[in-house]
């Protein structure tokens, strides 16, 4: 199964560039991205507390920070059950009390609709990541549709028995309470590929080939399931651990499209600094 997509979000940036020019532009892009991140961190505002999460309404992206192998998850000694009645917005049934099953830990990252925190299952001690999406940020129908699409597509991918599903950050559970939709995700402790490249400065050809093979297998798996990611970038490629040979996983299905064989799409989607220059 295949699809043609003229969006450029997954396009290779350096395809039409000479090698020497490509190196210079890559360096400039990395520097500009670092400056952009710093500006975005400085512009965070409208902080408010809701339930057990903090939300910053101006955050333009979700960024996952590195997590140490032996880092601890903060737990509460006695879970407090919230019995406040509410009308669910998800089109399927789910648990409604996060604290009865999991204990929330420290913050790992934040985004436009909520934050990501470490999470521990009370019964087994298993560690996960919790992406908590504030319902107050879903007042716009388009935003609601995007979240619904993300949850349904992640459920489809995570329930697959294909071996290549290991290259995708898996969704383990969904919990909806009065204020939030909580996505319980596979925990990746090694940060994202952008951070790793910034630290290492360069990769050997063998290592780069290994990463590209893993990424292409993940993309092929998505396409075989009739799903286009539309926002493949370094920040959405997570490392399982802090080792130099850590496997990678494709994350953040906030902009995907579902397609059928022979269907075509056109238009712009994704992150502008990763698009092919001829698109502009």
Measured between alpha carbons, how far is residue 279 from residues 9, 13, 110, 208, 276 in Å? 10, 10, 30, 26, 6
End-to-end CA distance of the chain: 29
State yes or no: 135 annotated in a binding site: yes
As given in the structure block, the two tokens for residue 121 are: 């299952």
User: Does the annotation mark 177 as catalytic?
Assistant: no
Q: Of the residues 177, 179, 231, 252, which is catalytic? A: 231
Residue 189: is it exposed, middle or buried by C-beta count within 10 angstroms (0-12/13-18/19+)? buried
Q: At what angle do helices 193-200 and 19-42 cross, to 10 degrees?
A: 120
Cα pseudo-dihedral 116, 117, 123, 125, rounded to 10:
120
Q: Residue 174's beta-bridge partner residues?
A: 183
Dist. CA 114–CA 73, nearest whole Å: 19
**Alpha carbon distance 81, 79 (integer Å):** 6
Tell me the C-alpha distance between 275 and 280, whole Å. Answer: 9
Gyration radius from the chain CA atoms: 19
CA–CA separation, 129 and 187 (whole Å) = 5
Phi-psi region of 46 (alpha: psi -120 to 50; beta: other; left: phi over 0): left
From CA 211, how far away is CA 192, in angstroms rounded? 13
Residues of each annotated binding site: 135
What residues are labeled active site?
231
> Residues marked as binding for ATP?
135
């Amino acid at each position: 199964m295949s699809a043609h997509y003229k969006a450029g979000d997954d396009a290779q940036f350096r395809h039409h560039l000479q090698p020497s020019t490509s190196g210079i532009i890559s360096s400039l892009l990395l520097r500009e991205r670092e400056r952009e991140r710093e500006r975005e961190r400085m512009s965070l505002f409208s902080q408010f507390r809701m339930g057990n999460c903090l939300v910053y309404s101006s955050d333009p992206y979700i960024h996952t920070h590195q997590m140490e192998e032996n880092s601890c998850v903060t737990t509460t000694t006695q879970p407090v059950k919230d019995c406040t009645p509410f009308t669910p917005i998800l089109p399927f049934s789910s648990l409604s009390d996060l604290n009865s099953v999991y204990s929330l830990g420290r913050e790992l990252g934040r985004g436009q609709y909520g934050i990501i925190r470490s999470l521990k299952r009370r019964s087994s001690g298993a560690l996960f990541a919790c992406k908590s999406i504030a319902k107050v940020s879903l007042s716009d129908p388009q935003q609601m549709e995007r979240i619904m699409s993300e949850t349904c597509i992640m459920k489809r991918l995570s329930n697959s028995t294909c071996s290549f599903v290991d290259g995708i950050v898996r969704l383990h559970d969904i919990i909806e309470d009065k204020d939030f939709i909580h996505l319980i995700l596979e925990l990746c402790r090694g940060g994202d590929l952008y951070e790793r490249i910034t630290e290492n400065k360069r990769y050997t050809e063998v290592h780069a080939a290994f990463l590209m093979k893993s990424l292409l297998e993940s993309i092929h798996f998505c396409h075989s399931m009739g799903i286009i990611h539309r926002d493949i970038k370094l920040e959405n490629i997570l490392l399982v651990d802090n080792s130099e040979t850590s496997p990678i996983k494709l994350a953040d299905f906030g902009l995907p499209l579902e397609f059928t064989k022979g269907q075509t799409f056109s238009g712009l989607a994704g992150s502008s600094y990763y698009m092919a220059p001829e698109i502009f």
